[in-house]
A and B are shown apart, each in its own frame.
Chain A
Amino acid sequence: MNDEPIIRVTGLDGGYEGSPPILLDVSFDVARGQVFGILGGSGCGKSTLMKHMIGLLPPMTGHVVIDGADIVSAEGDALLAIRRKFGVMYQSGALFGSMTLLENVRLPLEVWTDLPDDAIDLIARMKLELVGLEGFTGHMPAELSGGMQKRAGIARAMALDPSILFLDEPSSGLDPITAASLDATIRRLSDSLGVTFVIVTHDLGSVFVATDRVILLDRRAKGIIAEGDPRTLRDESTDPRVRAFFRREAEPIAA
C-alpha cells in the first residue's frame, strides 16, 4: 500500500484572475482511501478550492499534486492522464440536456473503455440503480427534479470507477433518505475499493456519518482554521469559529 497522500495541496493562493485572492497559503494532504470533507460557510472558497484541485482554475500560486503529478503545471496528455484518475460531480449535476440519463452515464464508458455495448449499458444502469434512478434511464434531465439530476451526476462521476471522486455539495437538495443512502454508498466504496472522496459540503449530518477527516475554511481568515476528525473538532475544539460551525450557532451580531 502506497503511504504517500493521494492529493497534496501546498501553499495555494486561490481565487479568480483580476480579483483579490479568496484563499491564502492553503496546504493539506488527502490520504489514499480517505473520505475527506472541505467544509465552511457560504462564500469561504470551498468550490473555488475544488476547482483548483481538479485543474479547472489555475491557482494564483501553489501546487496541487494528484497521485504524484502536479495538475497545476500539467498540460495536454499529462493533464488528461491526471483527469482520468478522478470523477467530478458538480453542484447542479451538470448533465448534458440533449441526452437521456442512461446516455449521460454511458458517455465516459463509451469514450474511455473498450467494453462491449451491452456491458456499458449494464454498468450505466447499475450506476443509476446505485443512486435510486433505475426507473428513469430513458428520461431527459429536464424532466427530473434538481435532486434527481444531482444523483444522476453522481452516477456519471462514478461511471469509470475512478480512484478519486470529487463531489460538490452532494447531499444538498436531496431528501434525507436519499442523502443517507448516498452517505452509505460513499462509505461502502471507500471501505471496499479504497476510493478516495473529496466532498465539498456544509451538510453536517453527512459530514459526521461519511467523512474521515475534514478541513474547515473561513471567509475572513481566507484559509483553513481547523483540520482533523470532524467528531473530535466538534467535541474538543476551543476555537469559537469552529465550535459555532459544528454546533450550528449563529454568528454574533456586531455592535
Chain B
Amino acid sequence: MTTAALAISEAADGGRVLALSGRLDSESVPSLWQAVRRAVAEVPTRRVVVDAAGVDYCDGAGIAIFVDLLRQPREPGVEIANLKPAFEVLLKQFDPKVLEHDLDPEPQRGPAVEEVGRAAYTVWRDIRSQVSFVGETVAALTHAIRNPSSVRWKDVWRICEQVGADALPIVALISFLLGMILAFQSAVPMKRFGAEIFVADLIGLSMLRELGPLMTAILLAGRSGAAFAAEIGTMRVNQEVDALTTMGLDPVRFLVTPRIIAALLMTPLLVLFSNLVGLIGGAITMQSFSIPIVTFLKEVDSAVNMTDFLAGFIKSFVFAILVAGIGCLRGLQTGAGASAVGDSATRAVVSGIILLVVVDGLFAVVYYVLDI
C-alpha cells in the first residue's frame, strides 16, 4: 500500500494551503480524493494554494487530483505550487477547461412525437429494404436459372452440406420425438373409445401436411438462417461485402443466390426425411398399444393420399426461400461491430420463425378455400 498525506493550514493572507505529500497513485488517491475536494469546497471565496513540494511520485490518478481542482468553476481559482518539473510536464498536457464538462454527452431522448416518428421511419425503411431485397433476389435467381454457369456451384455444394447433411441428426431427433409424443398424447384418449388405430391417421396427416414441413423449417431457421446472417454479417463488418461491391460483384448474386439454391435443394429432402422419421417414431410407440408396425403403416397409407403429401411438400420450397432469404437479408443489414453480428443472427431467427408461422397460416386458409 502506497502512502500519501494531506495537511491543511490557513495562510496569513486569509487563504488556505493544502500540502500534499508522498506517492500519488491509484492506490493512494482514493483516500485523498474526497478530503481534498472538501477542503477546497469549505472555503469557496478564499484563495487556495496546493503545495505539492512533498509529492515524490505522481501518476495519472495523482495528476487527476490537480486537474479536478483546476477545473472547478470558482473565483478565486486554485493554484498548484511547487510541483516537481517532471510532474508539471504531465499536468500541462491537460486543459482543465476541456475537462470542465463533458464535450460529448450521452444523446438525450427527444419528445415522444419525434420518437414515434423515428420508429415509424425505421419500420418504413426496413419494409423498403425488404421489398428491394426481394426484387434483387428474384432478379438474381432468374439470372441464375438463365445462366447456370454463373452460379458458384462449389459454394452451393458446400452450403448444401451445411444446410442438409449436417442438419440430419437434429431433424431426425426432433421428428422422431414428435412422432412419439403425438402417438402417446393421442393414443390414451382414443383408447377409451377403442380407436387407437386412428392414431396412425392422425400422425400421418399431421406429420405430412403440417408438422414435418413446419418443424423442419423452424429448425432450419435456427440453424442455417442464423448461420447465414452471422456469416454474411461478419463479412459486412470485415468490409468483405464492400470489397465485392467495389470489385463490381453483386453481393446478392455472390452471397445470397448460392444460399437460396442450397436451401431450395436441401429443405424438401429434409422434410421427406422428417416425415419418415416422424412416422417411425409413431409406429414404434403404437407397438406398445398392441398395434403392429405393418398395421400402422397400412392405416397411414389408407388415410393419407398424394394430395396431402404434396400439400406439405410444396410448403417446403416456400419455407426454404423464406428462411434463406431472411437469413441473408439480416446478414446484409448488419451494422458495425461484433454485437451487430449477434443482433443480425437473432433477428434472422425471430423474423424467420414469425414469417414461417404466418405463411403456414396463409397456406392453411388457401388449402381450406381450395378444399385441399
Measured CB to CB, the residues of A under 8 A from B are: 97-98, 100, 109, 112-116, 118-119, 122-123, 125-127, 129-130, 134-143, 158-161, 185, 188-189, 191-193
Contacts and interface: CB of A to CB of B under 8 A. Distances in A.
Contacts of A191: 86, 89
Contact of B99 (A109, A129, A142, A193): A129
B339 A139 contact: no
Contacts of B337: 97-98, 140-142
Given A138-B106, A192-B89, 12 more contacts: A123-B60, A125-B102, A126-B64, A129-B93, A134-B98, A135-B104, A142-B336, A142-B337, A143-B336, A161-B25, A193-B86, A193-B90
B359 interface: no
15 contacts: A97-B337, A97-B339, A115-B29, A115-B33, A119-B33, A119-B61, A122-B64, A136-B104, A138-B104, A141-B337, A142-B336, A185-B93, A192-B86, A192-B89, A192-B90
B335 interface: yes
The 9 closest A-B pairs by CB, nearest first: A142-B336, A97-B337, A161-B59, A142-B337, A114-B30, A192-B86, A138-B104, A161-B60, A135-B103
Interface in B327-355: 335-340
A44 B90 CA distance: 36
A114 B338 CA distance: 31
B1 to A, nearest CB: 11
Nearest to A185: B93
A136 B34 CA distance: 28
B68 to A, nearest CB: 6
A119 B103 contact: no
A192 B29 contact: no
A137 B26 contact: no
Contacts of A193: 57, 59, 86, 90
A128 B151 CA distance: 49
Interface of B: 25-27, 29-30, 33-34, 57, 59-61, 63-64, 67-68, 86-87, 89-90, 93-95, 98-99, 102-107, 335-340
Given A97-B337, A115-B26, A126-B60, A137 B86 contact: no
B30 A126 contact: no
The secondary-structure label for the interface of chain A is helix
A193 B58 CA distance: 8
A106 B53 CA distance: 30
Contacts of A116: 30, 33-34
B94 A129 contact: yes
A94 to B, nearest CB: 11
Contacts of B57: 193
Contacts of B107: 138
B200 to A, nearest CB: 53
Nearest to B65: A119
Nearest to B30: A114
A161 B102 contact: no
Given A98-B339, A123-B64, A161-B26, A137 B98 contact: no
Nearest to A101: B104
A123 B93 contact: no
Nearest to A137: B104
Contacts of A118: 68
B61 A161 contact: yes
B99 A158 contact: no
Given A119-B61, A161-B61, A142 B335 contact: yes
A84 to B, nearest CB: 11
B362 to A, nearest CB: 38
B26 A113 contact: yes
Contact of B61 (A123, A188, A189): A123
B359 to A, nearest CB: 34
Contacts of A112: 26
A138 B102 contact: yes
A141 B237 CA distance: 13
Contact of A125 (B29, B33, B99, B106): B99
- B27, B60, B95, B338: which has the most chain A beta carbons within 10 Å? B60
A115 B28 CA distance: 9
Contacts of A161: 25-26, 59-61
B104 A122 contact: no
A122 B99 contact: yes
Contacts of B25: 161
Contacts of A119: 29-30, 33, 61, 64, 68
B99 A126 contact: yes
Contacts of A137: 102-104
A150 B103 CA distance: 20
A122 B67 contact: yes
A228 B27 CA distance: 36
Contacts of B94: 126, 129-130
A93 B67 CA distance: 27
A123 B57 CA distance: 17
A233 to B, nearest CB: 29
